[in-house]
């Protein structure tokens, strides 16, 4: 249920922010490794605002992965929405005990979300 609430919050009040980022091609800078660890630890302790920070600061990754699909004829805005859902899933399922960065894990989740959606529409 909290996933749906986060998704609605992101697309409710955050949609205009996301559109502004995409339209202007200006995203917040990615978190440093230390900042990422701090936000992930806050999230583990139940701080939902940490999830929003992680989402916002990784939107650049979503846009980067969506560029791989430019030649497919699919709408970039749709792909960014799907990729953002993949990012949220990655943040929700990321295991802090693994010795990898969130972006490494999230990149696969984002790409898989886009590929899964493309398969469904074929």
pLDDT, position 20? 53
What is the pTM (predicted TM-score) of this model?
Answer: 0.79
pLDDT level of residue 13 (50, 70, 90 thresholds): very low
Structure tokens at 108: 């696969």
CA dist., res. 105 & res. 22, Å (int): 22
Instruction: Give the closest residue to 91 by CA, choosing from 78, 108, 106.
Output: 106
Q: Which domain holds residue 89?
A: 2-121
Number of domains into which the chain is organized: 1
pLDDT, position 26? 78
Q: Is the pLDDT higher at 12 or at 90?
A: 90
CA dist., res. 54 & res. 90, Å (int): 10
pLDDT level of residue 104 (50, 70, 90 thresholds): very high
pLDDT digits (tens, 9 = 90+) for 43-97: 999 999 999 999 999 999 999 999 999 888 889 999 999 999 999 999 999 999 9
CATH at 52: 1.20.120.1810
Alpha helices in the chain (DSSP H): 2-12, 15-24, 33-44, 48-57, 59-67, 76-93, 102-121
């Amino acid at each position: 249920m909290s996933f749906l609430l986060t998704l609605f919050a992101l697309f409710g009040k955050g949609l205009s922010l996301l559109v502004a980022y995409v339209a202007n091609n200006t995203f917040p800078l990615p978190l440093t490794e230390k900042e990422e660890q701090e936000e992930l630890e806050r999230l583990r302790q139940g701080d939902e605002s940490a999830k929003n920070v992680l989402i916002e600061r990784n939107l650049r990754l979503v846009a980067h992965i969506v560029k791989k699909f430019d030649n497919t004829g699919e709408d970039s805005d749709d792909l960014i929405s799907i990729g953002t859902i993949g990012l949220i899933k990655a943040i929700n399922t990321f295991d802090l005990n693994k010795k990898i960065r969130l972006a490494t894990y999230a990149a696969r989740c984002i790409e898989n979300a886009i590929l899964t959606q493309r398969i469904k529409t074929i």
